[in-house]
């Protein structure tokens, strides 16, 4: 049987990669993907804690489903903003976002 530590290590690694991508990359699509990776890392931890907890139950899985729904809404809004920005400026660079002032 697999222990809790490998799941936590995977979650930490995925969260770290996502955080690095969100803070250092300049392409908005890569930033959105990095945020999704961070949310998936939290889902792995939620499900691992619900399975390996003192009393295993489905609470972590329910929270993970809510997290997936929120992530889907975040992607929809983020891509809509990205498309509007790209149509306006023909760029997907994070540094150009401050030029959206009227």
Q: Could you report the per-residue pLDDT of 17-56, keeping only the tens digit for each? A: 999 999 999 888 899 999 999 999 999 999 998 888 888 8
Is 55 within 8 Å of 41 (Cβ atoms)?
Answer: no
In the chain, what percentage of residues exceed pLDDT 90? 44
Question: Is a pLDDT exceeding 60 seen at residue 102?
Answer: no
Q: Domains in the chain, please, with CATH?
A: 4-90 (1.10.287.3510)
- For range 4-26, the mean pLDDT: 94
Please report the pLDDT score of residue 28 as a whole number.
86
pLDDT band at 99, cuts 50/70/90?
low
Handedness of CA 8, 14, 19, 20 (dihedral sign): positive
């Amino acid at each position: 049987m697999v222990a809790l530590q490998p799941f936590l290590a995977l979650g930490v690694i995925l969260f770290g990669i996502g955080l690095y991508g969100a803070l250092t990359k300049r392409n908005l699509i890569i930033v959105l993907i990095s945020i999704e990776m961070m949310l998936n890392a939290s889902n792995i931890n939620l499900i691992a804690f619900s399975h390996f907890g003192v009393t295993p139950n489905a609470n972590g899985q329910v929270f993970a489903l809510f997290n997936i729904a929120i992530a889907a809404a975040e992607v929809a809004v983020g891509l809509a903003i990205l498309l509007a920005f790209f149509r306006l400026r023909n760029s997907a660079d994070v540094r150009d976002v401050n030029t959206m002032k009227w």
